[in-house]
Amino acid sequence: MGNYKADVIALACVSTWTAAQSYAQSHADNIKVQSLMNAIGQITNTININRTKITDLESSITKLENYISAKESRQRQLTNLISDIHERFFKKYARYIQEGTWQDSNYIDDDKYYLDAVDVAYTSSRPQL
């Protein structure tokens, strides 16, 4: 846009931009000057529109960053809550929970081994108390 202003100043044979604007208003018949003034006006409008878009985008970015920050904070809270619940559950029920594998090398038939394992799992799933 600086080059357009310099061109208008040169065409109007003046030394300042204000004088060039006055010249352009008083000489509507000078097509070259009017063309450059229109181009300057369009560039100025585009710049203003883009500044508005930049402001809107910066606002949106700030809102999204705040939203993400809030969600991350909530996620940390929930993760801590889940960890606390797991820890309390384990402390309360650890002595009742037993894990392991059942193996017996005396079995030759896979089906019998499977059926006996199901029987042991069923028996183990019923409390004796």
Q: Would you tell me the crossing angle of helices 31-93 and 2-12 to the nearest 10 degrees?
A: 170
The predicted pLDDT at position 53 comes to 97
C-beta separation of 7 from 24 below 8 A: no
The predicted pLDDT at position 15 comes to 83
C-beta separation of 61 from 69 below 8 A: no
Measuring CA to CA, how many Å separate 17 from each of 20, 72, 73, 88?
Answer: 5, 53, 54, 77
Q: How far apart are CA 97 and CA 83, in angstroms?
A: 18
C-beta separation of 47 from 54 below 8 A: no
The predicted pLDDT at position 72 comes to 96
The predicted pLDDT at position 1 comes to 64
Per-residue pLDDT band for 30 (boundaries 50, 70, 90) equals: confident
% of the chain beyond a pLDDT of 70:
93
Model confidence pLDDT, tens digit, residues 49-89: 999 999 999 999 999 999 999 999 999 999 999 999 999 99
3-state secondary structure of 9: helix
- pTM flag (> 0.75): no
Structure tokens at 79: 């993760």
The predicted pLDDT at position 95 comes to 77
3-state secondary structure of 92: helix
> Mean pLDDT in the chain?
86
Give the mean pLDDT of 86-108: 79
Q: How far apart are CA 20 and CA 10, in angstroms?
A: 9
Q: Which residues, at least 6 apart from 28, have a Cβ–Cβ distance to it below 8 Å?
A: 34
The predicted pLDDT at position 102 comes to 62
